[in-house]
Amino acid sequence: MSTPNDLRSLADRIEIEALRAEFPDAAMLRDFDRLAALFTEDAVMRIPDAGIEVVGRAELRARMPQMQAAWDFFVQHTHPGPIEIDGDTASGRAHICEFGRLRSGSSHLNYAIYHDRYRRTADGWKFTERVYEIRYLDNSPLPGSPPGENGLGVDISAAQPHG
């Protein structure tokens, strides 16, 4: 039988997972206001391998369009990792598969880990820190392209409706 604490812990985990799911969705859709709203006012986001450190929600909001502008296209998938809750703070990891092509023409495929810290706020759980650690990186040219650049790669005009 669940106790109130078990239910609170379960709700906290669900809310933190929802927070982590919002991040790649907002980033891929280039919804920078929504992305910034996922962080506390004093949050820090670090990508050490790229020499990036952004401090505070306002700086994150200002810099995300610049960082995203470097990409021709960008896809990021997040997979759940552990969450440790301690009252109104928590820590966790999210596992990442990311690929895209930079406007410079170089490609990028990596597997990484976000090392996160979270805080419960009046507006729900927010990131207080996100540190991106690349575990595998492949800069080989990607064989594909976004739809529209070279078509879909299939001839849908010959498809027959099922009846």
Determine the Cα–Cα distance for residues 125 and 119; give it in Å rounded to an integer.
5
- Please choose, from the candidates 11, 38, 28, the residue with its C-alpha nearest in 3D space to the C-alpha of residue 128: 38
Residue 127 lies in a domain: yes
Percent of all residues in the chain with a pLDDT value above 90, rounded to a whole number: 75
Question: 112 in a domain, yes or no?
Answer: yes
Q: Does residue 149 belong to any structural domain of this protein?
A: no
Is 115 contained in some domain?
Answer: yes
Q: Are strands 89-102 and 71-86 parallel, antiparallel or unpaired?
A: antiparallel
- What's the CATH number where 92 sits? 3.10.450.50
Higher pLDDT, 81 or 163: 81
Q: What is the mean pLDDT of the chain?
A: 90
Question: Each residue of 19-46: b (16+ CB within 10 Å) or e?
Answer: bbebbbebbbeeebeebbebbbeebbbb
Q: Are 52 and 135 in contact (CB under 8 A)?
A: no
- pLDDT for 2 equals 43
> What is the extent of the structural domain holding 101?
4-143
DSSP state of 50: G
Per 3-state DSSP, the chain is made up of helix, strand and coil in percentages (nearest 5) of 30, 45, 25
Q: Within a domain: residue 45?
A: yes
pLDDT at res. 160? 59
Number of domains in the chain: 1
- Per-residue pLDDT band at 145 (split at 50, 70, 90): confident
Instruction: Report how far residue 11's alpha carbon sits from residue 120's, in angstroms, rounded to the nearest whole number.
Output: 12
pLDDT band at 1 (very low <50, low <70, confident <90, very high): very low
Give tens-digit pLDDT for 45-55: 999 998 999 99
The pLDDT of residue 144 is 80
pLDDT at 146: 77
For residue 35 the two structure tokens come to 């992305």
Note whether residue 151 is domain-resident: no
Residue 77: exposure state from Cβ atoms within 10 A (0-12, 13-18, ≥19): exposed
Residue 157 belongs to a domain: no
State the pTM of this model.
Answer: 0.85
- Model confidence pLDDT, tens digit, residues 75-125: 999 999 999 999 999 999 999 999 999 999 899 999 999 999 999 999 999
CB 78, CB 23: distance < 8 Å: yes
- Residue 148 belongs to some domain of the structure: no
pLDDT of 7: 92
